[in-house]
Amino acid sequence: MESVQTITSGSKLAEAVMTESGQNVNVCFQCGKCAAGCPISYAMDYKPAQLIHAIRLGMDDLVFKSTTMWLCASCETCTTRCPQELDVAKVMDVVKITAVRQGIKPTISQVAAFYRAALANIKKCGRMYEMGMIVGLKMRTFEFFKDAKLGMKMFKKGKLKLLPSFTGAMRMWKIFNRVKKIENRNLNT
């Protein structure tokens, strides 16, 4: 695929996406298949194809302020159907990661809070401890009563563990820290 890597648009954001994910958004010819197949595009302010185009044009502000990547459920329909083999879902991930790194406030704050709560939970517990994660999420979103009834019923049905297992918790903590170190090193080189 070396030939397509030579297609550029002079957009710094597009270059950053390329470096982070190996995905060249400039190969996109706006067929709109990703937008048509996306099950969540109805709820997005910009359709996936539009977001890709905005990245090509270097419209950083529009991209980072859009809800598109935060609503993406990573179902990979876009990635599977792109005739140019652009991994659109991967681009969504990179845009989110870049936005967070630049300190830009996520447009769908609950989703970002969920990621943080889930990762903090597995870093501490080794395996996902759902009850702890739910508490962590509520502390971040202040939606204390959301799904309370549902959670109660799940607990009564024995679908939620009372206590975490802590299997591999120490290893997990070390892996998270080493990853952080490597990522910081990569950013500084």
Partner 1 sequence: MPMKYAYYPGCSLHSTGSEYDVSFRAVCQKAGIDIEEVKGWVCCGTSPAHCSSKLLSLALPYENLCLAEKMGAADVVAPCAACFARLRTAIYEANEDPQLAKQISEALERPLPKSMNVLSPLQIFRDKEGLADAVTRELPGLRVVCYYGCLLTRPAKVMQFDECEYPMAMDELLRSMGITTLNWSYKTDCCGGALAMTRTDVVLKLTHDILEEAKAVGANAIAVACPLCHVNLDTRQEEVEQEYCVKYGLPIFYFTQLMALALGVPSDKLGLQKHFVGTDELLSAVCEG
- Interface positions with partner 1 (CB under 8 A): 20-22, 39-40, 42-43, 71, 73-77, 79-80, 87, 93, 96-97, 100, 108, 110-111, 113-116, 118-119, 122, 126-128, 130, 134, 137, 141, 146-147, 150, 153-154, 157-161, 165, 167-168, 171-172, 174-176, 178-179, 182-183, 186
Q: Are 34 and 83 in contact (CB under 8 A)?
A: no
Pick 30 or 165: Cβ nearer partner 1 = 165
Q: How far is CA 100 from CA 77, 97, 106, 107, 112, in A?
A: 25, 5, 7, 11, 9
Q: How far apart are CA 166 and CA 169, in angstroms?
A: 5
Residue number, 37 or 57, with CB nearest to partner 1: 37
Q: Which is nearer to partner 1, 10 or 179 (CB)?
A: 179
CB of 178 to partner 1, least distance (A): 5
Q: Round to whole Å and give the CA distance between 68 and 80.
A: 18
Nearest to 118 by CA among 129, 107, 109: 129
